[in-house]
Amino acid sequence: MFKVAITGTGVFTPKDAITNDELVVAFNAYADKQNAKNADAIAAGGMDPVPHSSADFILAASGIEQRYVLNKTGILDPDRMSPSLAPRDDDAPSIMAEIGVDACQKALDEAGIDAADVDLVICAASNHERAYPAIAVEIQQLLGAGGFAFDMNVACSSATFGIQTAADMIKSGSIRRALVVNPEICSAHLEWRDRDCHFIFGDVATATLLERDEGLTKPHFKVKSTRCATQFSNNIRNNNGFLRRAHDQMGDQRDMQFMQNGRKVFKEVLPLVSRHIAEHMADEGVQADDLNRLWLHQANKTMNDYIGKKVLGREPAEGEQPNILQDYANTSSAGSIIAFSQNSKDLQAGDTGIICSFGAGYSVGSVIVTRS
Ligand code: CO8
């Protein structure tokens, strides 16, 4: 069995950002328009008015201050309320491939590796912009990578599940290097017309380069252990799929976008994740005192505060459990990798940390790493 290291990470961040205030102004303009249009039905009691959103609620409930998106104008247009992304010719790079390649190139540059020396590309994300050909194969071709490539989807846990898949292949010797890339266009499957969730997500792409840990002289993180777990739940769901036409469901239906029962998710996922991390650490002989950093999934600040306290047995110190969701919002599978990429270079040789993601499925994935 070979050993595995993370030698590079990359983050693509879109240029457009939307603050909570901007988002709420657009949402409330949409609500007012809807309510004016349906004034008679609302007055007759046949329809509820669309309630206003509030920037204060968003910050207090989630910790999110802004989000990056691929297209701001479409989302903030009260007559549209979704990103406007021009369709592309089949011969042009897809959007996921384009932003994924940017993140991959940054990871390769950090590690000083040529794309041609990569044997596997996994495109792991919570939605793929087409069924086939796999986005991963397109990224492989655009990068000039070797070997093979495939897509996978475990919603918010896609990155850690992808890392375990790649790490297992490196361990067994079937490949030497892998890129796990997470291009997340959350803005295109978020329902911006629903105040319960319109503030949650943002767009980004992350990439993680894994290599056989053999004679590495550059700074890297040794992958000590990975662990994945799933437990079925309908509390986070998106019913959009290839049977839509066969079901005569081509209309504008709410369940074809992201849906969740946020309160239930909150209550059910917290114990699941805390237990998962505790068991993973115990099985690897890692004590709370041995942990120097926690890079958690970036969905909700209160959730992360709770998990950090539970894992460490005390309040996390400043910087010990970095959050990026105030700037990026929830970027699905990319969140914990952004936190890792932006908050790991200062660790010293021998320092240990855990990357942990969780979300729809339910799914939980954790990766214990040691700085080298
Ligand atoms: N403005 C003002 N008031 C609001 C708003 C708003 N925007 N939204 C809701 N309210 C109101 C509600 O109507 C409710 O009113 P009332 O008490 O009168 O009924 C009140 O505020 C409280 O609402 P909630 O109970 O919903 O508020 P919470 O405190 O529970 O906070 C959260 C809502 C932030 C959603 C919280 O529940 C949460 O973060 N839960 C966990 C969510 C989570 O981790 N989900 C994981 C999903 S990610 C994933 O797995 C990947 C999916 C694939 C990616 C999809 C990309 C699009």
Q: What is the pLDDT of residues 10-40, one digit of tens each?
A: 999 999 999 999 999 999 999 999 999 999 9
Answer whether 186 contacts ligand 1 (Cβ < 6 A).
yes
Task: Give pLDDT, residue 300.
Answer: 94
| Phi and psi torsions of 127, nearest 5° | -160, 145
Atom of ligand 1 nearest to the CA of 188: 57
261 domain residue, yes or no: yes
Rg (CA), the chain: 21
CA angle 41/45/50 to nearest 5° reads 70
Q: 16 alpha carbon to ligand 1 midpoint, in Å?
A: 24
Q: Closest by alpha carbon to 104, among 72, 134, 138, 132?
A: 138
- Structurally, the chain folds into a number of domains equal to 1
- How many angstroms separate the CA atoms of 308 and 299, rounded? 14
CA of 356 to the centre of ligand 1 (A): 21
pLDDT-based confidence at residue 139 (cuts at 50, 70, 90): very high
Q: Is residue 109 part of a domain?
A: no
Read off the pLDDT of each residue in 130-150 and give the average, rounded to a whole number: 98
CA angle 280–281–287, rounded 5-degree value: 170
Enter the tokens of residue 172.
Answer: 């067994």
Residue 112: per-residue pLDDT: 97
The reply to whether ligand 1 has any atom less than 6 angstroms from the CB of 357 is: no
Distance CA 117, CA 14 (A): 28
Which residue, by CA, sits nearest to atom 12 of ligand 1? 196
What is the pTM (predicted TM-score) of this model?
Answer: 0.96
Q: Rounded to an integer, what distance in angstroms lies between the CA atom of residue 357 and that of residue 29? A: 35
Task: Report pLDDT digits (tens) over 56-84.
Answer: 999 999 999 999 999 999 999 999 999 99
Residue 306 phi/psi, 5° resolution? -65, -50
CA-proximal residue: ligand 1, atom 8 (nearest): 196
Decide: 297 and 335 in contact? Cβ < 8 Å. yes
Could you tell me which residues come within 8 angstroms of residue 234 by beta carbon, excluding any fewer than 6 positions away? none
Tell me whether residue 251 is in a domain: yes
Active-site positions read 156
> Ligand 1 atom 46: the closest Cα is on which residue?
359
Average pLDDT estimate for 316-327: 95
192 lines ligand 1 (CB under 6 A): no
In angstroms, the CA 336 to CA 348 distance is: 20
List, in order, residues 6 or more apart from 98 with CB less than 8 Å away: none
Residues 6+ apart with CB under 8 A from 247: none
Verify whether ligand 1 is closer than 6 Å to residue 266 (CB atom). yes
| Residue having the nearest C-alpha atom to atom 38 of ligand 1 | 262
**Ligand 1 pocket residue status of 147, Cβ below 6 Å:** no
Q: What is the DSSP letter of 74?
A: H
pLDDT at 114: 98
Q: Give me the pLDDT at residue 255, please.
A: 94
What's the rounded Cα separation, in Å, for the pair 237 and 345?
Answer: 36
Give, for ligand 1, the residue of 256, 265, 331 to mutate: max count of ligand atoms closer than 8 Å to Cβ. 265
Cα-to-centroid distance, 22 and ligand 1 (Å): 19
Q: Decide if 173 is inside a domain.
A: no
Q: Is 189 in the pocket of ligand 1 (CB under 6 A)?
A: yes
Q: Is residue 143 part of a domain?
A: no
pLDDT at residue 223, rounded to an integer? 98
Q: Which atom of ligand 1 is nearest to the CA of 156?
A: 51
Q: What is the mean pLDDT of the chain?
A: 97
pLDDT, average across residues 242-248:
95
* 168: confidence class by pLDDT, cuts 50, 70, 90: very high
User: Across residues 198-207, what is the average pLDDT?
Assistant: 98
Q: What is the pLDDT of residues 119-130, one digit of tens each?
A: 999 999 999 999
Residue 355: predicted pLDDT: 98
Return the CATH number at 254: 3.40.47.10
Ligand 1 centroid to Cα of residue 81, in Å, is 19
Q: For a pLDDT cut of 70, what percent of the chain falls above it?
A: 100
- Which residue's CA is minimally distant from atom 56 of ligand 1? 186
- Assigned domain for 215 exists: no
How many whole angstroms from 200 Cα to the centroid of ligand 1? 8
pLDDT range class, residue 94, cuts 50, 70, 90: very high
111 pocket-lining for ligand 1 (C-beta < 6 Å): no
264 in a domain, yes or no?
yes
Is the Cβ atom of 331 under 6 angstroms away from ligand 1? no
Q: Which atom of ligand 1 is nearest to the CA of 199?
A: 7
pLDDT for the residue numbered 71: 98
Range of the domain at 331: 221-371
The share of the chain scoring above pLDDT 90, in percent, equals 100
Residue 80 lies in a domain: no
